[in-house]
Amino acid sequence: MHPLISAALAARERAHAPYSHFKVGAAIEDETGRIFTGCNVENASYGLSLCAERVAIFKAVSEGAGKLIRVAVVADTPSPTPPCGACRQILWEFMGDVPLLLANLSGQHETVQIGAMLPRAFDASFL
């Protein structure tokens, strides 16, 4: 198993999902090989919840990560589940068109580019 998927799997176990029971883990690698993890954290006011991918990005930024080069997302779904639209935007802005490793608890996995998940993405180049 890819080490980034293993890290995302471990992060998933720490998810706080008492309402949806949908636990997700994410792991992001920077150019130095450091790995930053995140899990989804729900709130009774759903709009205040955060997805695992955004938690991992924000942790990487706050901990002084170098260039972010790869991300993995793990969920307990029949097939590997891609990030939501908000997370795709954040991943694009902070990472660009890097590999996105998707996996589930059954061992299925696939790799796609973030750019394929968010065609014609909005970023600072439009400002």
- pLDDT single digits (tens) 61-77: 999 999 999 999 999 99
What are the domain boundaries of the chain? 3-126
Read off the pLDDT band of 1 (50, 70, 90): confident
**What fold is seen in the domain 3-126?**
Cytidine Deaminase; domain 2 (3.40.140)
Residue of 13, 31, 53, 110 marked active site = 53
Return the residue matching tokens 């600072």.
124
Indicate the pTM of the whole model: 0.95
Residue 59 buriedness (CB in 10 A; 0-12 / 13-18 / 19+): middle
Report whether 72 contacts 101 (CB < 8 A).
yes
DSSP 84: P
Task: Identify the bridge partners of residue 57 per DSSP, sorted by sequence position.
Answer: none
Catalytic annotation on 13? no
pLDDT of residue 115: 95
Report whether 57 contacts 38 (CB < 8 A).
yes
Give percent above pLDDT 90 in the chain. 94
